Amino acid sequence: MKILVINGPNLNMLGIREPEIYGSSTLQDIYDLLNLEAAGKCELRFFQSNHEGAIVDEIQAAYQKIDGILINPAAYTHTSLAIADAIKSVAIPVVEVHISDIATREEFRQISYIKPFAIAQISGLGIEGYVKGLQILIEHLSK
């Protein structure tokens, strides 16, 4: 079982700025946590980009090669019909994850273009949300 983990714009800055919102863990800490959870269960591929088209390209490249996608689209969550369309077109099960609780932040963060095409949306659990998202994907793909 192959799972692609995608992180969107600015998440490469995790642990460097805004720890009051996103905590002090780095993106590498998230990868380490996910690798621990994945051990013996699935193979992970990690991808981070600050560019919408690069994320669309990565999702298209996953077609017929990847079994599931765990994605934190970051700000593109609230703006990107292109990423939503790419997810819909490849028909790969997707779990959407957010570190912060987008439901209790600014109004513009409460719209997700990705949610309608995801099997689950996890928000507000900090970096543990990635682990929960991976568990949901593995369970879904094991059925």
Contacting residues toward ligand CA2, per CB under 6 A = 10-11, 13-14, 17-18, 22, 72, 74-75, 77, 98-100, 102, 109
CB of 108 to ligand CA2, least distance (A): 8
Choice between 10 and 46, CB closer to ligand CA2: 10
Distance of alpha carbon 69 from alpha carbon 25, whole angstroms: 22
Choice between 41 and 78, CB closer to ligand CA2: 78
Choice between 49 and 77, CB closer to ligand CA2: 77
CB of 142 to ligand CA2, least distance (A): 26
Q: Which of 22, 76, 113, 130 is catalytic?
A: 22
Secondary structure of 36-104 as H, E, C letters:
HHHCCCCEEEEEECCCHHHHHHHHHHCCCCCCEEEEECHHHHHCCHHHHHHHHHHCCCEEEEECCCHHH
Is 98 annotated as catalytic? yes
Residue 51 structure tokens: 């560019």
The pair phi, psi for residue 22, each rounded to 5°, is: -110, 0
Is 130 annotated as catalytic? no
Q: Which of 76, 98, 113, 130 is catalytic?
A: 98
Query: Half-sphere exposure (CA, 13 Å, Cβ side) for 61?
Result: 11
Active-site positions? Answer: 22, 98
